Structure 1
Amino acid sequence: MSNIIIPIITGIVCLAVGVIIGFLYRKSVAEKEIGSAETEATRIINEAIKAGETKKRESILEAKDEIHKQRVEADRELKERRNETQQLERRLIQREEALDKKSDMLDRKNDDLNRQLDASQKEKEELERIKLEQVEKLEQIASMTRDEARDMLVQSIENEATHDAAVKLREINQRLKDESEQTAREIISTAIQRCAADQVSEATVSVVPLPNDEMKGRIIGREGRNIRTLETLTGVDLIIDDTPEAITLSSFDPVRREIARLALEKLIVDGRIHPARIEEMVDKARREVEQIIKSEGERATFETGIHGIHPELVKILGRLRYRTSYGQNVLQHSIEVAHIAGMMASELGLDPVPARRAGLLHDIGKAIDHEVEGSHVQIGVDLAKKYKESQPIIHAIEAHHGDVEAKTIVACLVQAADAISAARPGARRENLENYIKRLEKLESIANETPGVSGSFAIQAGREIRIIVNPEKVSDDKMVLLAREIAKKIENELDYPGQIKVNMVRETRAIDYAK
């Protein structure tokens, strides 16, 4: 037992000794490492201190160099500015010297001017004295005071200026008249060139062709009952004569004549001709003509570009298709007037729509003038008012024949366009002999009046220009004389529209400069 314990104790003792020895060794090693680390740290610190001192000295040196450079630069700039200042001072001194010299020169000139002014004042006073003496001498010679001479001179100048102004005004008026006439001719010629209208000859009869002469007997009927029925229903005279294979329809109303023509043509094609069939065909033809009238009115509004016209007024407008005036179809005439008036308005820079509208409706009264009392102008005005046309359109209708004075440009354009359309060669027919006799009678009425030296019928007989003797007829008497001639014309002549009596009294003074 003891043999076992002793080795164990010995082992433990040895182990403890080994542990102590190891601990002591590790401690000594650690102390050495700590000592070397402190030495290294001290070295590093010393080196850092030395490096910092070196950097500090370098920075101080660099700062001193920079300060030196800035000081040198500042000294240089200060020197330059000092030089510039000195140059400016020298310039200012030079300018002051120049100004002083100029001031001295101006003072000398001022003194010279004062002396000259004094001398001129003296001369002026002397001249004024001489002038007064001359005026007094002139007054004595002319036996006229100064004020009287001045008034005479002013009056002479005024008269001369008035004369020159009158001459200039006459030249201006003449030039304006020539230019306006040329412009008007250009506008009218342009409008006419741009508008072309077909011509329809006036007719009061229509001829209906027949397939054979046997058809005449069937149209007459037993004891003439068929022809009597047709004439009674249509109000048209049927002329059945020896003309082969033709029947003539005669009526002053073109609408009734057209209804009778269509009805007769339908009866001929149908072949069944008796009173009941005639009545049926007449009603059918009447509806067809009414439809044609409506279509023609719509065509006229479409062709002229006019919209918003009352439907009843469109129908009345369409009736003009069957109305003629001196051989000219009134509907075509109205369309042509609308186009011409619109073109002239465009040439003048105005809105062409009102001009075209007034031109299209200006003769609307002719559609029913055989049914209503009054002139076609008044009838047209009443129709326009009834169907709510605007006041400018109504005025243009009322003034297109000069019954009232035209107060708007649209009315003047419609007047001109109506005259252009009616006066174109071939547009209308009139008995030349009657026309010439009417103009001769118009001039003879004027020439027979005492105090009249000559007269001229112009504007197609719508104006009579009368030249009176200024020694026998005064300005006041001219008014009475014009009224007297107008009354004679009203009593002795038949004419459409109105005739303008234009009386001229002219006094001329002629002299020659030699």
Structure 2
Amino acid sequence: MVAGAVIGFLLRKKLVEGNQANVEAQSRQIIENAIGEAERIKKEAILQAKEEALHIKQEAEREIKASRGELKDEQRRLNRKLDEVQEELRSLERRESKLQDREEKCRQREKELVDRQKELDELIDTQRYKLEKIAGIDREEAKKLLMESIESEARMDAAKRLVRIENEMKMEADRRAKNILALAISRYAGDYVADKTVSMVPLPNDEMKGRIIGREGRNIRAIEAATGIDIIIDDTPEAVILSGFNPIRREIARLALEQLISDGRIHPARIEEVVAKVTKELEVSIREAGEQATFDVGAHGMHVDLINLIGRLKYRTSYGQNILQHSLEVAFLCGVMAAELGLDVKKAKRAGLLHDIGKAVDHEVEGSHAIIGRDLAKKYGEADDIVYAIGAHHEDLPPRSVLDVLVQSADALSGARPGARKEMLQSYVKRLEDLEAIANAFDGVEKSYAIQAGRDLRIIVDSHKIRDEEATLMSRDIAKSIEEQLTYPGQIRVTVIRETRAVEYAK
């Protein structure tokens, strides 16, 4: 029993010692492997560090090389700029040198001029003394006579120059048209312009304004595009305003809008349809008005386009006077006066009816309505004497026949008739009296007449007191006085008439 235990103890001890030797051998092997692995990792790290260092070195060298290239380019640019600056500096130095030379020459020239001026002054004093001695008058008396002579010549020259300037201004009338138009508009009352360029369309209720405007404004844009008239929708109760200078287009817009409101169907397609329909109806109405006017006057065989233009005058006004009614009135006046003089009554009526035909298109064509009307009458085959009478009815052309004077007189009678142009009789007469009073206040005026509703002032002067040149200056002065003292629409023509009459009696 004891022997077995001893043997077992010895066997375990030997086994333990063997295991310990194995453990130590394994430990030594692990340590050696770790040392080897550490050496390998160390070598790889060193190799990798060397590679990264080499890579960084190469990158740095490339950057240094690029920087050196940029520095060289910048150096070259700086060198070129320096060369340019140096060249500019040399150029400025040369210019400065030239300027100094010129300045020196100018000083020398100035000195020579001063010396020359002194010589001239001495020579003038000498000549003046000799002239005073020869003439027998002193310097002040001579100066007075010279000033009077110069003043007289200056007034003559001023009058001639004024005539020349006025003629040049007539030739430049087209270029000054915008300024004249602006001046004319500024002298009209704003209420008058608003009244004659707008139409009002009544509405059944204010809700209709929204329907006229339409979704996102498409209806109102369609109406304005189709008619060419601006539609103003403001706070005015149960009404919209149509604004535009063309009376035909404004009438088309008014009729079309009234039909759309009564119909109730307001959309872009319907708007275009109604505007086209109203346009055709208005063209028929215009043609019928023209035909009725020619029938009333007895002007047969007239071109159809002229008849349409006469009908368009139904929608034109001048100073509140309807142009078609004015034309008919002028035609009848021309006929009466032609009958009294034993002239062709039909031709006189025809010329009177057509005298303002240019106003049918004067908002589309530049120029005086008399010249526009003359060109239209000539285009559509009217007789030469009628064509000329149309162009001369406002003296754009000088009258050359009795027919021209008849049309002028009838036009003046129709326009100057108190009440014809919606002007109160008292203010009408007062304006004529003021015009004549301004003219009569000038020295040398014998008589003055305000004609053509105050648009023309004729002044007769005493030929013994006023010379031809002074008559031109007087017309200018009177016109200026009228501008300063009176307020009036349009323009007033001032005509000064001077004539010399020699009268002798046979006994």
**Given the two structures, how large is their TM-score scaled by the length of structure 1?**
0.53
Which of 483, 496, 500 pairs up with 2:472? 483
Counterparts of 1:293 and 1:358, CA distance in 2: 20
Are 1:264 and 2:242 an aligned pair? no
Paired position in structure 1 for 2:316: 323
Instruction: Compare 326-335 and 420-429 and name the one that shifted more.
Output: 420-429
Larger radius of gyration: 1
Aligned partner letter, 2:450: I
Aligned partner letter, 1:371: E
2:335 touches 2:346 (CA, 8 Å); kept in 1?
Answer: yes
Are 1:458 and 2:450 an aligned pair? yes
What SS does the corresponding residue of 1:203 show, helix, strand or coil?
helix
What SS does the corresponding residue of 1:313 show, helix, strand or coil?
helix
Counterparts of 1:469 and 1:303, CA distance in 2: 48
Aligned partner letter, 2:448: F
Aligned partner letter, 1:210: L
2:438 touches 2:478 (CA, 8 Å); kept in 1?
Answer: no
Paired position in structure 2 for 1:379: 372
Structure 1 segment 186-201 matched on structure 2, within 5 A: none
What SS does the corresponding residue of 1:369 show, helix, strand or coil?
coil
User: Residues 347-405 of structure 1: CA distance to partner in whole angstroms, max 9, x if unpaired?
Assistant: 33332100000000000000011110001011011111111211110121122123333
Structure 1 segment 222-301 matched on structure 2, within 5 A: 222-301=215-294
Which of 423, 426, 430 pairs up with 2:419? 426
User: Residues 236-261 of structure 1: CA distance to partner in whole angstroms, max 9, x if unpaired?
Assistant: 22222333322221222111110101
Counterparts of 2:226 and 2:273, CA distance in 1: 10
1:443 touches 1:464 (CA, 8 Å); kept in 2?
Answer: no
What SS does the corresponding residue of 1:248 show, helix, strand or coil?
strand
Paired position in structure 1 for 2:349: 356
What SS does the corresponding residue of 1:208 show, helix, strand or coil?
strand
Instruction: Compare 214-223 and 451-460 and name the one that shifted more.
Output: 451-460
Counterparts of 1:483 and 1:446, CA distance in 2: 16
Paired position in structure 1 for 2:201: 208
Paired position in structure 1 for 2:81: none
Structure 1 spans left out of the alignment, 5+ residues: 1-201, 509-514
What SS does the corresponding residue of 2:394 show, helix, strand or coil?
coil
**Alignment: residue pair count:** 301
Which of 205, 213, 238 pairs up with 1:220? 213
2:439 touches 2:448 (CA, 8 Å); kept in 1?
Answer: no
**Given the two structures, how large is their TM-score scaled by the length of structure 2?**
0.53
Pair 380,489 (structure 1): closer, same or farther in 2 beyond 3 Å? farther
Instruction: Compare 354-363 and 315-324 and name the one that shifted more.
Output: 315-324
User: Residues 471-506 of structure 1: CA distance to partner in whole angstroms, max 9, x if unpaired?
Assistant: x44xxx2x2222333455778868558543223679
User: Residues 119-173 of structure 1: CA distance to partner in whole angstroms, max 9, x if unpaired?
Assistant: xxxxxxxxxxxxxxxxxxxxxxxxxxxxxxxxxxxxxxxxxxxxxxxxxxxxxxx
Aligned partner letter, 1:481: E
Structure 1 segment 3-402 matched on structure 2, within 5 A: 203-402=196-395
Which of 457, 461, 476 pairs up with 1:467? 461
Are 1:503 and 2:498 an aligned pair? yes
Pair 381,485 (structure 1): closer, same or farther in 2 beyond 3 Å? farther
Counterparts of 2:271 and 2:499, CA distance in 1: 65
- Per-residue deviation at 1:225? 1.9
1:402 touches 1:497 (CA, 8 Å); kept in 2?
Answer: no
Percent identity for Structure 1 against Structure 2: 53
Which of 391, 402, 413 pairs up with 1:409? 402
Pair 318,496 (structure 1): closer, same or farther in 2 beyond 3 Å? farther
1:341 touches 1:414 (CA, 8 Å); kept in 2?
Answer: yes
Counterparts of 2:412 and 2:420, CA distance in 1: 11
What SS does the corresponding residue of 2:471 show, helix, strand or coil?
helix
What SS does the corresponding residue of 1:247 show, helix, strand or coil?
strand
Aligned partner letter, 1:408: S
2:455 touches 2:493 (CA, 8 Å); kept in 1?
Answer: no
Counterparts of 1:458 and 1:490, CA distance in 2: 13
Counterparts of 1:276 and 1:413, CA distance in 2: 52
1:442 touches 1:464 (CA, 8 Å); kept in 2?
Answer: no
